[in-house]
Amino acid sequence: MYIKTLSVSALNNYIKKTLDADFILNNLSIKGEISNLKLHSSGHMYFSLKDEGSKINCIMFKTYTSSLKFLPKDGDSVVVKGKVSVYEKDGAYQLYCQEITQEGLGELYIAFQKLKEKLEKAGLFDEKRKKPIPKYPRRIGVITSPTGAAVRDIINVSTRRYKGVNMLIYPALVQGYNASEDIIKGIETLNQIEDIDVIILARGGGSLEELWAFNNEELAYEVYNSKKPIITGVGHETDFTIVDFVSDRRAPTPSAAAEMAVPNMEELLRGINTYETALNTSIINTFKDYNNKIESLRKTLYLNSPANFIVNQYNYIDRLQDTITYKMKLILQNKKENLGKLNSILDAHNPLKVLNKGYAMIQDSDGKIISEKKDLKENKEFLITLKDGKLKACMNSITEI
């Protein structure tokens, strides 16, 4: 029997036609729990419908979403009417929904909420007991799947931001049976390594049941009791698990967890350069300020200098001396002029000048001037002052004429 070789497109097209021709697959009514719900800006709705053992991807176009009587959300238990078909481009079959009827919350979502409330009352979510994340970790422990994209993202982000960072990867199951126990062992092991400063607990995105290992009560207490600070990066930004509430820091993704764990070396260097520039500017400005203050003090000291005072006093003394000299000269000049006048008067009345005219001055032995003839006596000595000197004389006789 000859079997024709088909192209991939032909195969997907054949499967689509086969499914579209099936009456049951075109008239389905399926019960399940909504997870990973995404409302697209186009108006289309994308989500997964799951139960305890399986799930199917679903899409509901805007034509039908506009007729919904409620807004679906993760954890809703619903009944969906629609048909199963294949999206030929990637060969994925999915449920094309036409109606959604709400039945209530799913069992997993209810269990999640109950555990969350229990642990919150027990104080496991208390912000006060959360440990600080070291700014400059020497070594980072990472608990995740060794084959997933999360470990590659964490390594790439960490080494790009903080070159030379030391990392220890603890390979663990992050989904399915025994995953919680495996993660607990990882936390116990990394807590015993002294030089590990922080632990990253991470895995990629997934549905509620795929992330269920991180909603384990024993794991929550292990995270709570960890001596090392723990950063969780589980799922996508909209995914929340119990360990996210218990951990010391919750990151929306594994990459974001790596960013929280290590500093950005480039930002550090830029910050150092900024501080260096600011420090240099501050030092220069400080020196300028002190230089200005010193200059101001120097001027103040100069203005109040004793030397200036002494110089000013010398100038003052010089001015006083000049004033005194001037006044003394003025007084002396006045005195000299007065003395000249008196000298002229005295000279005018000087009897010696009369002697130059041929007169003589007669004095007795006591120096008394004899101006009357009655004072002359015979045989008595007299002093006679002439033009050219003095003589002693004695009169033998006196005749009045």
Q: Average pLDDT, stretch 259-282?
A: 90
* Separation of alpha carbons 139 and 196, rounded Å: 5
Q: For residue 255, what are the CA distances in angstroms to 202, 213, 398?
A: 9, 20, 160
Question: Is 295 a domain residue?
Answer: no
What separation in angstroms does the CA of 222 have from each of 69, 233, 378?
A: 43, 17, 163
Confirm if 76 and 106 have CB atoms less than 8 A apart. yes
Report if residue 383 sits inside a domain: yes
* Total length of the chain: 401
Last residue of a domain, one of 211, 242, 263: 263
Percent of the chain topping pLDDT 70: 96
Note whether 254 and 148 are same-domain residues.
yes
Residues 24 and 46 in one domain: yes
> Is 274 part of a structural domain of the chain?
no
Residues 50 and 25 in one domain: yes
The pLDDT score that the predictor gives to residue 377 is 74
Least confident of 111-120, 280-289, 309-318: 309-318
Owner of token pair 């007669």: 362
Count of beta carbons in the 10 Å neighbourhood of residue 107: 13
HSE-CB of 349 using CA atoms within 13 angstroms:
5
The per-residue pLDDT for 249 is 93
Task: Give whole-number Cα distances, 206 to 166, 307, 324, in Å.
Answer: 29, 90, 112
The amino acid that residue 332 corresponds to is: L
Domain containing residue 17: CATH number: 2.40.50.140
Same domain, 115 and 246: yes
Same domain? For 91 and 118 the reply is no
- The pLDDT tens digits for 185-221 are 999 999 999 999 999 999 987 777 788 899 999 999 9
The overall average pLDDT reported for the chain is 86
Domain boundary among 239, 263, 287: 263
Q: Is residue 373 part of a domain?
A: yes
What does residue 241 show for φ and ψ, rounded to 5 degrees?
-125, 170
Q: Residue 12 — very low, low, confident or very high, per pLDDT cuts 50/70/90?
A: confident
pTM over 0.75: no
Does the residue 20 lie in any domain? Answer: yes
Do the domain assignments include residue 193?
yes
Query: Which of 58-62, 175-179, 315-319 tops mean pLDDT?
Result: 58-62
Q: CB count, 10 Å around CB of 145?
A: 19
| Residues 115 and 258 grouped into a single domain | yes
pLDDT of residue 267: 86
pLDDT band at residue 380, thresholds of 50, 70 and 90? confident
Instruction: Check if the beta carbon of residue 347 is closer than 8 Å to that of residue 366.
Output: no
Count other C-beta atoms under 10 Å from residue 100's C-beta.
24
Per-residue confidence (pLDDT) for residue 330, from 0 to 100:
87
Query: What pLDDT, on the 0 to 100 scale, is given for residue 204?
Result: 86
**Domain co-membership, 30 together with 92:** yes
What's the domain range around 194?
A: 111-127+136-263
Residues 85 and 56 in one domain: yes
Domain-located, residue 268: no
Q: Percentage of residues in the chain with pLDDT exceeding 90?
A: 39
Domain identity same for 86 and 165: no
Q: Residue 355 has what pLDDT?
A: 66
Q: Does the residue 299 lie in any domain?
A: no
Query: Which amino acid type is present at position 37?
Result: L
pLDDT for 354 equals 67
208-254 residue pLDDT tens: 778 889 999 999 999 999 999 999 999 777 778 899 999 999 998 99
Q: What is the pLDDT of residues 67-98, one digit of tens each?
A: 887 888 888 888 899 999 998 888 889 999 99
Instruction: Say which CATH number the domain at 246 has.
Output: 3.40.50.261
More confident residue, 43 or 398: 43
Structural domain tally of the chain?
Answer: 3
263, 283, 300 — which closes off a domain? 263
pLDDT score of 396 more than 90: no
Please check whether residues 85 and 164 belong to one and the same domain.
no
Whole-number pLDDT of residue 222? 94
Please write the tens of the pLDDT for every residue from 325-365: 888 888 888 888 888 888 778 777 766 666 667 777 788 87
My answer on whether 76 and 183 are in the same domain is no
The answer on pLDDT for 1 being more than 70 is no
User: Do both 241 and 119 map to the same domain?
Assistant: yes
* pLDDT reported for residue 360: 76
